[in-house]
Amino acid sequence: MAARPVHPVTAAATGSATGRGAPALAEELGRTAPDGSEVGFYLHVPFCERRCHYCSFNTAPLPDGAGVRRYLAAAHRELALLGGVPWARAVTVATVFLGGGTPSLLEPEDVGALVDGLRTRFTLAGDAEITIECNPESASRTKLQGYRAAGVSRISLGVQSLDDRLLARLGRLHDARRAHAAFDAARQAGFDNVSVDLMYGLPGLDLPTWRHTLETVLAWMPDHLSAYGLTLDPGSAWASSGVPGLPAEDAVVEQYWALARAAAAHGLEHYEISNYARPRFRSRHNQIYWRAQEYLACGPGACGFVGDLRYGNVRATARYCARLEEGVLPVDDGERLDARQRLAEQLILGLRTADGVPAAWLRRRAEGDGALSRRLRAWREQALLVEHGDHVRLTEAGFLLSDALFVELL
Could you tell me whether strands 275-277 and 224-229 are parallel, antiparallel, or unpaired per DSSP bridges? antiparallel
When asked if residue 391 is in the footprint of ligand SF4 (CB under 6 A), the reply is: no
Residue span binding ligand SF4 (CB under 6 A) among the ranges 95-103, 144-152, 256-264, 286-294:
95-103
**How far apart are CB 197 and ligand SF4 at their closest, in Å?**
9
CA distances from 251 to 54, 206, 403 (A): 19, 8, 18
**Binding footprint of ligand SF4, residue count (CB under 6 A):** 11
When asked if residue 98 is in the footprint of ligand SF4 (CB under 6 A), the reply is: no
When asked if residue 52 is in the footprint of ligand SF4 (CB under 6 A), the reply is: yes
Binding-site member from 5, 8, 40, 101 for ligand SF4 (CB under 6 A): 101
Q: Give DSSP secondary structure letters for 133-189.
A: EE-GGG--HHHHHHHHHTT--EEEEEEE-S-HHHHHHHT-S--HHHHHHHHHHHHHT
Residue span binding ligand SF4 (CB under 6 A) among the ranges 35-43, 46-54, 208-216, 246-254:
46-54
Residue span binding ligand SF4 (CB under 6 A) among the ranges 64-72, 99-107, 147-155, 310-318:
99-107
When asked if residue 136 is in the footprint of ligand SF4 (CB under 6 A), the reply is: no
Decide whether 1 or 93 has the Cβ nearer to ligand SF4: 1
**How far apart are CB 134 and ligand SF4 at their closest, in Å?**
10
328, burial (CB in 10 Å: exposed 0-12, middle 13-18, buried 19+): middle
Residue span binding ligand SF4 (CB under 6 A) among the ranges 24-32, 48-56, 73-81, 344-352:
48-56
Decide whether 55 or 198 has the Cβ nearer to ligand SF4: 55
Rounded to the nearest angstrom, the gap between the alpha carbon of residue 291 and the centroid of all alpha carbons in its chain is: 13
When asked if residue 135 is in the footprint of ligand SF4 (CB under 6 A), the reply is: yes
When asked if residue 317 is in the footprint of ligand SF4 (CB under 6 A), the reply is: no
The Cα–Cα gap between 304 and 102 comes to: 20
Which among 154, 217, 220 has a CA at the least distance from the CA of 184?
220
Q: CA triplet 333, 335, 337: central angle to 5 degrees? A: 160
Binding-site member from 8, 34, 40, 100 for ligand SF4 (CB under 6 A): 100
When asked if residue 299 is in the footprint of ligand SF4 (CB under 6 A), the reply is: no
Decide whether 1 or 179 has the Cβ nearer to ligand SF4: 1
**How far apart are CB 1 and ligand SF4 at their closest, in Å?**
4
When asked if residue 55 is in the footprint of ligand SF4 (CB under 6 A), the reply is: yes
**For residue 15, what is the DSSP state?**
S
Which among 122, 124, 38 has a CA at the least distance from the CA of 88?
122
When asked if residue 156 is in the footprint of ligand SF4 (CB under 6 A), the reply is: no
When asked if residue 48 is in the footprint of ligand SF4 (CB under 6 A), the reply is: yes
When asked if residue 51 is in the footprint of ligand SF4 (CB under 6 A), the reply is: yes
Binding-site member from 41, 42, 57, 320 for ligand SF4 (CB under 6 A): 57
Which among 380, 378, 385 has a CA at the least distance from the CA of 357?
385
Our separate counts of H helices and E strands in the chain read 15, 18
**Cβ atoms within 10 A of the Cβ of 316, count?**
14
Whether 302 contacts 43, CB under 8 Å:
yes
Expressed in angstroms, the distance from the first to the final Cα of the chain is 29
Give the interface with ligand SF4 as residue ranges (CB under 6 A).
Answer: 1, 48, 51-52, 55, 57, 59, 100-102, 135
